[in-house]
């Protein structure tokens, strides 16, 4: 499996609510994408997490906007008047990640009466616990309502173990206590069914195929003693092991729900 690759042709508008300064960009396929840039402060690992976690979510059956690779020419944006944006675009020449723009989408907000069904909420909570996503809270839901459906976006904060590979193995068995802050926890009353789907739809071959989608340029560096292939294997192995130990974070979800009620 490969992600589609498009070329950026027009910088439309920044989305300044994101710390990485993502932006709406028009591509040569005529579509608009929310692009996260490899030259942003979080670096390419945020793009790795976006691809891997996003495609895992899609494999589970969650609504995730199409993820594409967005190629940026070194001269793209050189006429941009904002110096910060101009510098960001220059530093992001090459492949970046884009999510299909959802025009007219609104942020999921329980305070405004927005609700999620049990099946979808349970699957989303299970997914976020599995990929160690710290960024789906009431403060920052990263859920959008669009065309009658709930869409999961912005997974760059997932897989945080890859910021410290020395301690990464411990994260495979993490109960992920931060799931207690999940915005959909109160509606996630069918963790068993979510787990069943997770184990049916994810497996070593599928997870390896998802990791293979990540561009080589995001995985290797001169300072990294491992090859790109070895780094891919580490991602896949840890994700497989975490799936095998899912009872640990599933127990945490149930305990958190009991305390929540």
Residue pair 194/254 in contact (Cβ under 8 Å)? The answer is no
**Can you name the residues that pair with 145 across neighbouring β-strands?**
106, 150
Any idea how long the chain is? 261
pLDDT of 18 above 60: no
pLDDT of 85 strictly over 60: yes
DSSP codes, 52-82: HHHHHHHHHT---PPEEEEEE-TTTTTT-S-
Q: Is 98 helix (H, G, I), strand (E, B) or coil?
A: strand
By C-alpha distance, which of 52, 39, 32 is closest to 240?
52
| Rounded alpha-carbon distances, angstroms, from residue 211 to 57, 72, 107, 145, 229 | 13, 22, 29, 28, 10
What's the rounded mean pLDDT across residues 11-38? 90
* Beta pairing class for 67-72 and 5-14: parallel
DSSP state of 117: -
* Residue 261, pLDDT above cutoff 70: no
For 233, half-sphere exposure in the C-beta direction (CA atoms, 13 angstrom radius) is: 5
Share above pLDDT 70 across residues of the chain, in percent, rounded to a whole number: 97
State mean pLDDT over 227-235. Answer: 94
Q: Where are the domains of the chain?
A: 5-100, 117-149+166-260
% of the chain beyond a pLDDT of 90: 84
Residue 178 to residue 47: CA distance in whole angstroms: 22
Q: How many CA atoms lie within 13 A of 18 on its CB side?
A: 23
Express each pLDDT in 202-227 by its tens digit: 999 999 999 999 999 999 776 778 89
CB proximity list for 255: less than 8 A, separation 6 or greater:
none
CB within 8 A of 225, min separation 6: which ones?
Answer: none
Average pLDDT rounded to a whole number, residues 183-188: 96
User: For position 21, what pLDDT does the model report?
Assistant: 85
């Amino acid at each position: 499996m490969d992600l589609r690759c498009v070329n950026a042709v027009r910088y439309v508008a920044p989305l300044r609510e994101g710390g990485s300064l993502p932006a709406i960009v028009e591509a040569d396929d005529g579509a608009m994408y929310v692009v996260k840039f490899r030259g942003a402060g979080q670096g390419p690992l945020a793009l790795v997490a976006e691809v891997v976690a996003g495609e895992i979510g899609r494999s589970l059956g969650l609504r995730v906007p199409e993820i594409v690779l967005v190629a940026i020419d070194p001269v793209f944006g050189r006429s941009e008047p904002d110096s910060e944006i101009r510098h960001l675009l220059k530093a992001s020449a090459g492949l970046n990640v884009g999510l299909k723009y959802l025009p007219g989408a609104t942020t999921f907000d329980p305070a405004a009466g927005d609700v999620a069904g049990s099946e979808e909420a349970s699957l989303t909570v299970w997914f976020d616990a599995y990929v160690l996503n710290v960024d789906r809270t009431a403060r920052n839901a990263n859920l959008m309502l669009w065309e009658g459906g709930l869409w999961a976006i912005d997974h760059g904060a997932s897989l945080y173990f890859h910021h410290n590979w020395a301690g990464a193995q411990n994260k495979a068995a993490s109960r992920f206590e931060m799931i207690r802050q999940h915005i959909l926890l109160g509606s996630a009353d069918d963790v068993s069914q979510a787990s069943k789907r997770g184990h049916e739809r994810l497996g070593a071959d599928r997870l390896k195929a998802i990791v293979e989608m990540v561009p080589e340029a995001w995985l290797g560096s001169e300072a990294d003693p491992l090859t790109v292939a070895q780094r891919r294997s580490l991602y896949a192995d840890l994700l497989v092991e975490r799936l095998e130990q899912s009872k640990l974070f599933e127990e945490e979800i149930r305990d958190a729900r009991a305390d929540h009620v």
